[in-house]
Chain A
Amino acid sequence: MNTLATGLSFAATPLVAGLFDAPVGVAHYLVVGAILFTSGVVCMALKRNALGVLMGIELVLNGANVNFVAFSSPYLRGEGAASLGLDGQLIALFVILLAAAEAAVALAITLNFYNNHATVDIDRADDLKG
């Protein structure tokens, strides 16, 4: 048991040291944003529950917000022409506000759909099919 623990510690030492020493750059934030975005797209395409599709949209918007904030961050991009400056944060704020508006309308539509069809399965929303 002890040998396993020490072996693990030796194996993990360079990896852990690299993780905890390396300063965070914009690329790290971009990776987080990419994972959030991809999860949101897959969620939108995969879920059959209308509220699941809504949650996918929230994830996509949030991934975009992570990128905006990362590119406007003074810690990551410094001051100057490389940084988006305050504009990135303002755009992120507008995205948050519009996401709130979008969620309210989409939820109202979902409730209406549920009232009319007694289900939230979006595969059943085929009234317009010829």
Chain B
Amino acid sequence: MMSSGVILLPGLVAAVATAVPLAVVNWHSVLFLLFAAVACACAVAVVLADNVVRMAFYLVLSLASTAGLFFLAGAEFVGAMQLMIYVGGTLVLLVFGVMLTAQAPFVAIKTSAGDRVLAGMVGAALLAVLLQAAFRVESWRRPAMAAVAAPAATPIGMALLGVRVDEPAAGVPAAAVRSGYLLPFEIVSVHLLVVLVGAAYLARAKRRRTPRSIDVAASSVGPVVTAREAARSSASALVSGGGR
């Protein structure tokens, strides 16, 4: 394994060096290939990994590489938001979820081999359809370089305030397409607030009530505790004991 890598590496370097002189290398393409390879490989690795901690790590790498793809496409504000909100926020949330539920039997839950084969076939079929659609349109294969793209952060901010300052598309009446995004922005902000309050309510720590004397007296002669309730209370005791 090691020796074959040692043999192959000079060959690859020689191939690259003879094929492309350094001056004419299209660095946009090279960086695109790098980021795209990391994003796709890590996305496939998320599917193939069994360990949930490794899945989270591969997902971080995949989403960060996708942010690099956004930068390369000229959407630097979206790329920065991808890094800050997705990689910095959502995935940290997911990793916390992994840590809170990472009891030994749940770190790696195996899927049966038949399910894996079936999912692989369905996935391959879906991928074939999507790839065929991607290469179907002729004008999608070549870039149509605009001369210089202005930074998009200011127009995005103005559009979120309801004012479009970017140029309308040629041949389209300006009033027909240029709508601001003030109302969706407000809806999303209220939605985020509601969602975060609701999530905090759903995931709150449930305190066990301190038994009062009347409850103790009632429970001593009370109804029979079912097996499920016993299991549930022991599980919650386990969780709260592990959390403290």
A86 in contact with B159 (CB, 8 Å): yes
A-facing mask of B164-181, CB < 8 A → 1, else 0?
Answer: 101101111000000001
Residue of A with least CB distance to B63: A62
Complex Cα distance, B169 from A72, in Å, reads: 12
A30 in contact with B52 (CB, 8 Å): no
Cross-interface CB contact of A100 among B73, B89, B97, B133, cutoff 8 Å = B89
B140 in contact with A51 (CB, 8 Å): no
**For this complex, into which size category does the number of interface residues on chain B fall?**
35 or more
The count of A-to-B residue pairs whose CB atoms sit within 8 angstroms is 324
A62-B66, A90-B159 known; A36 vs B39 contact (CB < 8 Å): yes
B69 in contact with A46 (CB, 8 Å): no
B40 in contact with A69 (CB, 8 Å): no
Complex Cα distance, B172 from A33, in Å, reads: 29
Complex Cα distance, B55 from A4, in Å, reads: 37
B14 within 8 A of partner (CB)? yes
Complex Cα distance, B46 from A37, in Å, reads: 12
A108 in contact with B145 (CB, 8 Å): no
A23-B28, A40-B43, A81-B171 known; A32 vs B101 contact (CB < 8 Å): no
Task: For the complex, count residues of A whose C-beta is within 8 A of B.
Answer: 97
Q: Which residues 123-181 in B have Cβ within 8 Å of A in the complex?
A: 123, 126-127, 130-131, 133-135, 137, 139-146, 149, 152, 155-156, 159-160, 164, 166-167, 169-172, 181
B238 in contact with A118 (CB, 8 Å): yes
Complex Cα distance, B232 from A17, in Å, reads: 63
- The dominant DSSP class at the B interface is helix
B140 in contact with A96 (CB, 8 Å): no
A36-B43, A38-B130 known; A85 vs B169 contact (CB < 8 Å): yes
Chain B residues within 8 Å of A, Cβ to Cβ:
7-8, 10-12, 14-16, 18-20, 24-26, 28-30, 32-33, 36, 39-40, 43-44, 46-47, 52, 55-56, 59, 62-63, 66, 69-70, 72-75, 77-78, 81-82, 85-86, 89-91, 93-94, 96-98, 100-101, 105-106, 109-111, 115-116, 119-120, 122-123, 126-127, 130-131, 133-135, 137, 139-146, 149, 152, 155-156, 159-160, 164, 166-167, 169-172, 181, 184, 188, 191-192, 195-196, 198-200, 202-203, 206, 231-232, 235-236, 238-239
Q: Known contacts A32-B40, A114-B101; can you find 4 more A-B pairs with CB under 8 A?
A: A8-B8, A23-B142, A81-B172, A104-B93
Can you show 27 pairs from A to B with CB atoms below 8 A apart?
A: A5-B7, A9-B14, A11-B15, A12-B12, A12-B15, A12-B19, A13-B15, A13-B18, A19-B29, A19-B33, A23-B143, A24-B29, A25-B143, A27-B134, A27-B140, A41-B122, A42-B119, A43-B46, A49-B109, A58-B94, A59-B62, A66-B69, A73-B75, A76-B143, A86-B152, A94-B188, A96-B85
